[in-house]
Each structure stands twice: as structure tokens, then as C-alpha cells.
Amino acid sequence: MLTNPNRLRPRVGRKRGVQRGVIHIQASFNNTIITITDIRGQVILWSSAGACGFKGTRKSTPFAAQAAAENAIRASLDRGLRQAEVLMSGPGPGRDTALRAIRRSGLILSVVRDVTPMPHNGCRPPIRRRV
């Protein structure tokens, strides 16, 4: 009998903790998403201001970003994360507060880098309206 290719199988080495990782902070004007990956880029866990229970305009506050960062860091420390590098992107209000919460957690941060995409010349502007 053939095995079903859609069946979920447990990943090998899933139980073992990750020593080093990458923390991605995506700070938009509406939400702040914290994603923690291993050094190969595979997602270990994530948290966001919306997942922490904030709704509406309160998701875009620095306090919500701090709560999301603390939630993600607490779970990653339980899995054995010791050293990380931080990649921040986006112009949102929660980026600095999330970074402060990560620094307070006791993790060893090797790199803090801003990876916000910047246009070199941008898109072609729309044709000016003539009246």
C-alpha cells in the first residue's frame, strides 16, 4: 500500500533546541510581527500584536509591539535560544520598543540590522492631471 504524501510526519530533530537564531521584526503602521527562525531561515515560532490580544488601532502601539516581542522571546528561551541576530524592517511605531524588549531579555545579540527596502528611484509617477 502506498503512503499518503499529504500526511503530516513529525520532523526529525524537532525536539532539540536551537542555540542560534535570527529574529525578524516586521513593523508596519498597523501591526508588529516578530518571527524567530534558525540560521537557515526555517521558522521556529512567531508572535504578533494581534496574536497577543490587541485589536484595532491598539495593535499599532509601541506597547503592543513590546508585548509581542516579550511573548516571542519567552517561548524561544524555553526552546534553548541563546544567541541571535535581529533584522528589522518597516517604519512602524513598534520597532524600537520591540528591540528594547529583546535587549532586556538576556539574549546575546550579535547583529542588529535594518533591512527596510528602500527604492533607488521608485515607481513611475502617475500622469499629471490636466484640468
Sheet holding 20-27, edge to edge: 43-48, 32-37, 20-27, 83-89, 108-114
Q: Is-contact 55 31, C-beta < 8 A? A: no
Q: Is-contact 48 64, C-beta < 8 A? A: no
pLDDT at 22: 95
Q: Tell me the pLDDT band of 1, cut-offs 50, 70 and 90.
A: low
Q: Is-contact 18 80, C-beta < 8 A? A: yes
User: What beta strand segments (E) does the chain contain?
Assistant: 20-27, 32-37, 43-48, 83-89, 108-114
pLDDT at 32: 95
- Does the pLDDT of residue 49 top 70, yes or no? yes
Q: Tell me the pLDDT band of 18, cut-offs 50, 70 and 90.
A: confident
pLDDT of 51-78, one tens digit each?
Answer: 999 999 999 999 999 999 999 999 999 9
Q: Average pLDDT over the chain, rounded to whole?
A: 88
Domains and CATH numbers, the chain: 20-114 (3.30.420.80)
pLDDT at 88: 96
- % the chain with pLDDT above 70: 88
